[in-house]
Amino acid sequence: MTTTRVRVEGDLYHGRIPAAAVYVGRQAPGLRRSPLANPHPVGKPCRRCDGAVHTLAESLQRYRDHLTANPGLLALAQGLRGRRLACWCPLDKPRHADVIAELADAAT
């Protein structure tokens, strides 16, 4: 089974995780921050990078590096193989949940 990305339903204050999905996003009203949330935001100053503002490609590469450098997080991501990963991001571009899905599906 392939790991897939789905979008949180509703709005920021009334977010609902789709059935059988695991939330992998940042904290929002009613939703706890996932340990797999991307700490490298797109288009906003990044606290981890001394205020650098990342493009989408930079954010995704830094996130991949973050996961692969942290064995506990990588194992957590790999444990989601075959699951539905929910985040707030639009589905029309690659996002951090796609990085998780790729790493999970590559795990054996």
Average pLDDT (83-104) is 97
User: In the chain, what percentage of residues exceed pLDDT 90?
Assistant: 93
Mean pLDDT of the chain, nearest integer: 96
Nearest CA to 34 out of 70, 92, 85 is that of 85
Structure tokens at 50: 């001394």
Q: How confident is the model at residue 102 (pLDDT cuts 50, 70, 90)?
A: very high
Q: Full-prediction pTM beyond 0.85? A: yes
* Cβ-proximal residues to 77 (8 Å cutoff; 6+ apart), any chain: 36, 67, 100, 103, 104
Q: What's phi and psi for 31, nearest 5 deg?
A: -130, 125
Q: What integer pLDDT is reported at residue 42 of this predicted model?
A: 97
